[in-house]
Amino acid sequence: MGAKGAGRLLVPTASAEGTPAPVKITPHVCSMNCGGGTCVLHLEVQDGVVTRIDTDQNDLPWSPAQRGCQRGRAMRKQLYHPDRLKQPLKRVGKRGEGKFEPISWDEALDIIAEKLDHVIKTYGNEALFYLYGTGIMNPVYKSWPTGIVNRLFNCLGGYLNYYGTYSSACYSFASPYILGSTANNTGDDLVNSRLIVIFAGNPGETRPGGNGAYAWVLRAKKAGAKVIVVDPRLSDTAKAIADEWIPIRPTTDVALISALAYVMITENLHDQAFLDKYCVGFDEKTLPEGAPPKSDYKSYILGESDGVPKTPEWAEAITGVPRETIVRLAREIATTKPCAMFQGLGWQRHAYGEQAVRALPTLCAMTGNIGIPGGSTGTRPGSKSVPGFNFPLGENPVKATISFYTWPDAAVRGTEMTAKDGLRGAERLNANIKFIWNYAGNALINQHSDVNGTAKLLQDESLIEFIVTHDIFMTPSARFSDIVLPDKSSFERTEMGRDGTTMGDRLYYAPAAIEPLYDTKDAYEICLGLAERLGVLEEFSEGRTMEEWQEYLVEELRKKHPDFPTFEELKKNPLIKSKDTPPVVACADFIADPENNPLPTPSGKIEIYSDRLATMGQDWGVADELPPIPKYIPAWEGPESPLTEKYPLQLIGHHTKRRVHSTHDNNPWLDEVEPQVLTINELDAAERGIQDGDMVRVWNDRGEVHVRCRVSKAIMPGVVDLPQGAWYTPNEKGIDTRGCINVLTKYHPTPGAKGNPQHTNLVQVAKL
């Protein structure tokens, strides 16, 4: 193989006679983790070179076009990027210093096999950790949450697994306590809504592909729905489609929702009959047995439990949303039916993210919008679920799991962790993490909180002894690794998948469009090499090639679903669009007959008051931070924190259209789409003598970033935004020069989910 593509990267050769080589169109998909759902890409391939990327334009009434966005269509710049990793590398300097030397694949695999063997024999399998990494989302090669590498680890006796995600830690943790699940009406039901209120969601920028809900918000808007967006920033979504933008201080949404509830209760606009029939703990009469008096939601809202009525005036002081707006919004939500209120994930990546997640379903219950077409349970818009393919993992004998976010704790004091630290499946760990496998991820440092703290941890080789990164670029995480392995990129391998999208079932088979460019190996090839060295080849591979595994996966699915196409049929018809299926209304059967169709909560009802959370809060010693009803809790670095004297600005980092996390940060085309800037309100800028386009320093006790700034009205005063995902690029003084927000974020697990509060930060900004 070698570097044979290198000499003829972007220009296809002409034949001897001078006629251009024919163009072949290869169907492919975008496998990035935007959650927009693997959009369709048509790759134009000429003489072995991808020369152009087109996409699906086929808008159908039941299925919007699976149209790739600027990121998917800029993949060519990644594929042919001069900095692609081209051969295995071994660290020669200190960890993080970035000094590597090329080695052969044999040598790399020998070293890794030896380290794996050593760590397992010395510390046991719990010392082996597979790090969160979402660079590949196609089922066969997927890096998240588990895949090929996990199968190998299981063959070797298992590994320490994680639960939860950087995406939705608090959301996934907290929603089931109120609703029993995260179920919501599917996105295609939004066209039945008259009013859509989006809290902390920016689907126009985060999920623009046709497989997600945004396409349906657009259709709903065309059908006459009014759209309101609650966000500290005038997001792309708010700009494009909102009839009203309600700016709010980050971390304070529960105060807003509490005041909306206050207006509804005091003006008698709430649906008492719904609350009596379907809910637990809205008022005292439906509190579970044994719950303390006045521990219900209504008593909290009216201030009967804590002496603080949650009035619009009270909320205005906290949230910055004017009281008149709060009163108007409460009346509008309560009197416009059906109303779909849904959440993005921005408000739960916060100090007390567990609270907002449950506050919105409470409001949906108060307005009787649950279980009806055009309504909402208050979670995120739902997808239709279909049985998919998953690479068989085998059994993991290690039952202990930790939160994805707490791996630094598990490396430093793993054996001391208990349930209070989020350890599940075991009372204790037998070992600290000693070996990390990082496949298609940059959360070893860049995407995790507190880059400077993490760097120190990683530099101490007595803690984590060995780190392998498998990527396509020398990312900041790769720089902190001991061995770096170059992967094929998506267009150089065959992808196959089946997604349950907003509107239904979708299937694809995307053959490799070109030969691999460099001396790369994919995860299966690497694991084969290791399995052989470690004596588990037969068990790991079962004698199959990757293509044979793909065929096996299709056949396994066909055993349960005989109407599913055969592998050969799939290859001939590689992109199968969704079928026309009606929208699904979540909880409709529960609403129709709650006795016979209970929700999967202990009471079978909507638990506005959760007994389980009450117990957990007490057991873990965090009763004030994890209350049984959704409460506003001032964040440790929120607008009410004493630290605002030193660091007066709240910093968030939204998910920007120019990247998928840190992926594409090095893509020049996308730099043109949107350069990395800090957005600051014009009032805050004026106070600091900052002009649009100035270089500024942004800092707190955890670190400092130098970045260009954009002065704008499109952000709440007191709030600055530095889009997450820029590659950590320290200068000689350790100051980041690229705009990596995680230099400023805090490692501080949330009380319940043990999740990542990466939008909760206080900073100061000055002209450089």
Ligand X SMILES: Nc1nc2c(c(=O)[nH]1)N[C@H]1C(S)=C(S)[C@@H](COP(=O)(O)OP(=O)(O)OC[C@H]3O[C@@H](n4cnc5c(=O)[nH]c(N)nc54)[C@H](O)[C@@H]3O)O[C@H]1N2
Enumerate binding residues for Mo ion (CB under 5 A): 167
Determine which residue in the list 162, 262, 347, 352 makes contact with ligand X, applying CB under 6 A: 347
Beta strands in 381-433 (DSSP E): 401-403
Write down the least CB distance from residue 45 to ligand SF4, Å: 18
Write down the least CB distance from residue 414 to Mo ion, Å: 25
Write down the least CB distance from residue 724 to ligand X, Å: 3
- Residue 166 CA to residue 133 CA, distance in Å, equals 10
Which are the contacts of 759, defined by CB distance < 8 A and separation ≥ 6? 250, 251, 346, 347, 349, 350, 652, 653
- Report the residue number, 146 or 167, with the smaller CB distance to Mo ion: 167
- Residue 498 CA to residue 390 CA, distance in Å, equals 10
Q: Give the closest residue to 322 by CA, choosing from 238, 225, 244.
A: 244
Tell me the chain's radius of gyration from C-alpha atoms.
Answer: 26
Which three-class secondary structure state does DSSP give residue 585? coil
Helices (H), 267-304: 272-278, 297-302
368 binds, among Mo ion, ligand X, ligand SF4, none (CB under 5 to 8 A by kind): none
Q: Is 133 in the site for ligand X (CB under 6 A)?
A: yes
Write down the least CB distance from residue 39 to ligand SF4, Å: 3
Give DSSP secondary structure letters for 167-231: TTHHHHHHHHHHHSS----BGGGGGG-SEEEEES--HHHHS-STTSSHHHHHHHHHTT-EEEEE-
Which three-class secondary structure state does DSSP give residue 747? coil
Q: Do 653 and 722 meet the contact criterion of CB atoms below 8 Å apart?
A: yes
Write down the least CB distance from residue 365 to ligand SF4, Å: 33
Cα separation values, 211 from 70, 265, 341, 499, Å:
16, 38, 20, 9
Q: Is 166 in the site for ligand X (CB under 6 A)?
A: yes
63 binds, among Mo ion, ligand SF4, ligand X, none (CB under 5 to 8 A by kind): none
Binding string, residues 179-208; x marks residues near ligand SF4 by CB under 6 A: -----------------------------x
Determine which residue in the list 68, 344, 422, 653 makes contact with ligand SF4, applying CB under 6 A: 68
* Token pair recorded at residue 634: 């001032």
Determine which residue in the list 38, 138, 186, 206 makes contact with ligand X, applying CB under 6 A: 206
* Token pair recorded at residue 1: 């193989």
| Binding to ligand X, residues 235-254 (CB under 6 A) | 235, 248, 250-251, 253
209 binds, among ligand SF4, Mo ion, ligand X, none (CB under 5 to 8 A by kind): ligand SF4
Determine which residue in the list 5, 12, 34, 301 makes contact with ligand SF4, applying CB under 6 A: 34
Give DSSP secondary structure letters for 44-111: EEETTEEEEEEE----BTTB---B--HHHHTHHHHHT-TT---S-EEE-SSTTT--EEE--HHHHHHH
| Binding to ligand X, residues 632-671 (CB under 6 A) | 652-657, 659-663
Q: Is 751 in the site for ligand SF4 (CB under 6 A)?
A: no
| Binding to ligand X, residues 186-205 (CB under 6 A) | 199-202, 205
Q: Is 28 in the site for ligand X (CB under 6 A)?
A: no
Q: Which residue is nearest to Mo ion (CB)?
A: 167
- Report the residue number, 109 or 660, with the smaller CB distance to ligand SF4: 660
Determine which residue in the list 234, 398, 510, 660 makes contact with ligand SF4, applying CB under 6 A: 660
- Report the residue number, 171 or 352, with the smaller CB distance to Mo ion: 171
74 binds, among Mo ion, ligand X, ligand SF4, none (CB under 5 to 8 A by kind): none
Q: Give the closest residue to 254 by CA, choosing from 379, 378, 357.
A: 357
Q: Do 211 and 66 meet the contact criterion of CB atoms below 8 Å apart?
A: yes
232 binds, among ligand X, ligand SF4, Mo ion, none (CB under 5 to 8 A by kind): ligand X
320 binds, among ligand X, Mo ion, ligand SF4, none (CB under 5 to 8 A by kind): none
- As to burial, measured by CB atoms within 10 angstroms (0-12 exposed, 13-18 middle, 19+ buried), residue 415 is exposed
- Report the residue number, 448 or 706, with the smaller CB distance to ligand X: 448
Query: Rounded to the nearest 10 degrees, what angle do helices 353-366 and 253-266 cross at?
Result: 20
* Token pair recorded at residue 768: 């450089």
Which window, 258-266, 339-347, 679-687, 699-707, contacts ligand X (CB under 6 A)? 339-347
How does strand 195-199 pair with strand 435-439? unpaired
Binding string, residues 687-726; x marks residues near ligand X by CB under 6 A: -------------------------------------xx-
Q: Which residue has the tokens 């026309």?
A: 580
Write down the least CB distance from residue 345 to ligand SF4, Å: 15
- Residue 618 CA to residue 236 CA, distance in Å, equals 41
Q: Is 443 in the site for ligand X (CB under 6 A)?
A: yes
- Residue 494 CA to residue 29 CA, distance in Å, equals 10
Which window, 18-26, 32-40, 181-189, 442-450, contacts ligand SF4 (CB under 6 A)? 32-40
Write down the least CB distance from residue 40 to ligand SF4, Å: 9
**Which residues lie near ligand SF4 (CB under 6 A)?**
30, 32, 34, 36, 38-39, 68-69, 71-72, 208-209, 660
**Which residues lie near ligand X (CB under 6 A)?**
33-35, 132-136, 166-167, 199-202, 205-207, 230-233, 235, 248, 250-251, 253, 344-347, 349-350, 439-443, 447, 470-473, 475, 487, 489-490, 652-657, 659-663, 724-725, 741-742, 745, 758-759
